[in-house]
Each structure stands twice: as C-alpha cells, then as structure tokens.
Amino acid sequence: MSIILQWVSFWLSLLVLPLLLLGVIRKLKARLQNRIGAPITQPFLNFFKLMNKTETISETSSWLFRTTSVINLASVLLVAFLAPWLSYQPAIPGDDLFLVIYLLALVRFFTILSSLDTASPFGTFSSAREATLSLLVEPAMVLSLIALALSQHSTSLSKIFAFLPEISLASLPLWLLAGAGLFISSLCELSRMPIDDPTTHLELTMVHEAMIIENSGKNLALTELSYALRMAVLFGLCAQCFLHALCCIWHPNVLQQSLLSVVFLFLVGFATALVEATAVKLPWRTAPNFIAYGLTMSLLAAFVAIAQGSLK
C-alpha cells in the first residue's frame, strides 16, 4: 500500500513541482524587486502556449537540432527517477552518483551540440562559455557528492540520502558544507544569477539563453520543461542535504520528512530568488572566483568526511 502511495505522490510531484518551482522563484524575485510579477502558474501557461505554436527551423540545421530537446528531456527524466530529490521517492536500482552526474553532463553536451548546429553566432560563443563553466563547476558538484559518499561508504544515491535513525550531531557540518557546495555549483550549473542572468537578452552577457535562442514552438517548450526539471532535481538534492542537517538535531517521522522535503525545496528556491534579487551579475572574468567558493565548500566537506572516517 505504501509503495503505491509513494509512486502516486512521486508522479504528482514530478508533474507539478518543477514548473511550479520555476513560477514561484520568478514570482518571489519580482516581489523582492517591488514588481507584481507574472502569476505562479505562468510556466504552465507558457508550456501549453508554446506547444500549440508552429516551429521555425533554420535551413542549415540538421536532425540534431530537433532531436536534442527530446534526448535532453529523456535524460533529465531518468535523472529525476534516479536521484533522490524528494524523501518519499521510491528507490530504483542503479542510482549511482556518477551515472547521475554524467547524465547531467550529457544534457549539457547535447545542448552545446544543438546550439553549434544552428550556426548562429550567439550559439557558438555561448556554447564556448557553457563548456568553460562546466569545466569549472563539475569538480565542485562531484566532490560535494563524493564527500557524502565517503561518509556513507557507498556511491548509491539512495543509500547516501537514506534517513538513518542513528544520525548524530557530528555529521551536521558535513551535510551543511556539502549542501552549500551543491547549492553554489547548482546556481552555476543552472545558469542562475551571479554567473548568468536568466532574464537578460543582451547577447554579450547571456550564456544559457543564447544557446537556446533558435529554439521555438514545441522544441522550446520541451527545452524549458527539461530545464525546470533539472532545476527541481538539483535544488531538491540541496534541500535534501539541508533536511539531513536538520535531522541531525531533530528526528522527524516519515510524513514530516515528506512534507519538509517539499518545504525545503521551496526554501532553496527562495534563497535563489534572494540571491537573484540582491546580487549583480559577475563579469565573465571574475566568475571563476565565485565558483571557487563552491569548490571550497566541497573540499571542506571532503576534509570533514575524511577526518570523521579517521576518527572512528
């Protein structure tokens, strides 16, 4: 009975949460900047509007351009099933952390390919930027998850993020540091504010938006959906880290955990909106300095994990 309930609630969350999170972040950002902002349901409306529009495709682009959005959505869906971004998610065998990381890298690879395929000048320079960023962000993201894997002696994500009853105060710094490292690197991975402005359309500053500038209609709808899903998964993993940090102090029951994981997901979204409303976009040359803080947090988490292992 409980496994059916898990699947039903997971499917419902998978359908609703990603686009809702996107809408909530946009709304919060607007409110923090003293604007009224679009309604929270705007991403859903946009999705259906784009699905009904006709598509414009450049004559020079190949089959790759249209296939990319489908491949991306499929890989992100697989990641969403594998990575435990909600505490009530049913476990699936084969949820290795390296598989998840490199499925996300595959998404980026195909996005870069399709933006090069359109032969638009924006696509070329933005894909070069995206490739540079991925080079900088990947160590931080992998290391923060490896630090957690070290402490649990397993690379299976469902084992890393399992709620152990004997979790104690000693693992609080590890979860906090890993969560902070993951949050900073997901801000870059998702091309959010300090690295890339998701709302700008000034071609010299944008990274992610310039890569999908040629997409339209259904293609754009699927791209936006996979972006929202990717954001929900990555922010969900951060939220799980912070939820585990809370569990070091207070032990909630299963129902409370499920509710808290959704609440924490939106809290991470609120933190993102706060960063976006207050921070300015960094110049391209100082972006590595920001990402270095993510790597610092991950390195510290790894240090704590190793030190705890040797103290036992």
| Cβ closest to other proteins, residue 83 vs residue 287 | 287
Q: Tell me which of 141, 303, 305, 309 binds other proteins, using CB under 8 A.
A: 303
What's the closest the beta carbon of residue 142 comes to other proteins, in angstroms?
A: 15
Place of tokens 């809702």: 20
Nearest residue to 6 via CA among 257, 268, 265: 257
Q: Tell me which of 211, 232, 300, 305 binds other proteins, using CB under 8 A.
A: 300
Considering only the stretches 68-76, 86-94, 245-253, 303-311, report the one whose residues sit in contact with other proteins under the rule CB under 8 A. Answer: 303-311
Tokens of 90: 């049913």
Q: d(Cα 174, Cα 296) in Å, to the nearest integer?
A: 13
Q: Is 289 in the site for other proteins (CB under 8 A)?
A: yes
| Residue 231 CB contacts under 8 Å (≥ 6 apart), including other chains | 18, 21, 22, 186, 190
Q: Tell me which of 49, 164, 307, 309 binds other proteins, using CB under 8 A.
A: 307
Considering only the stretches 78-86, 167-175, 247-255, 259-267, report the one whose residues sit in contact with other proteins under the rule CB under 8 A. Answer: 167-175
Nearest residue to 147 via CA among 113, 178, 119, 122: 178
Q: Tell me which of 213, 292, 305, 309 binds other proteins, using CB under 8 A.
A: 292
Q: Is 205 in the site for other proteins (CB under 8 A)?
A: no
Q: Where are the beta strands (DSSP E) in 49-193?
A: none
Q: d(Cα 158, Cα 100) in Å, to the nearest integer?
A: 12
What's the closest the beta carbon of residue 170 comes to other proteins, in angstroms?
A: 5
| Contact of 299 with 211, CB cutoff 8 Å | no
Q: Tell me which of 173, 181, 236, 269 binds other proteins, using CB under 8 A.
A: 173
Q: d(Cα 161, Cα 112) in Å, to the nearest integer?
A: 31
Count the neighbouring beta carbons within 10 Å of the beta carbon of residue 221. 22
Q: Is 97 in the site for other proteins (CB under 8 A)?
A: no
Nearest residue to 108 via CA among 282, 226, 202, 200: 226
Q: Is 253 in the site for other proteins (CB under 8 A)?
A: no
| Residue 240 CB contacts under 8 Å (≥ 6 apart), including other chains | 84, 85, 87, 161, 261, 264
Considering only the stretches 122-130, 194-202, 235-243, 299-307, report the one whose residues sit in contact with other proteins under the rule CB under 8 A. Answer: 299-307
Q: Tell me which of 222, 247, 299, 305 binds other proteins, using CB under 8 A.
A: 299
Q: d(Cα 273, Cα 232) in Å, to the nearest integer?
A: 14
| Cβ closest to other proteins, residue 142 vs residue 210 | 142
Q: Tell me which of 170, 249, 259, 279 binds other proteins, using CB under 8 A.
A: 170
Q: Is 190 in the site for other proteins (CB under 8 A)?
A: no
- Residues in touch with other proteins (CB under 8 A): 169-170, 173, 288-289, 292-293, 295-296, 299-300, 303, 306-308, 310-311
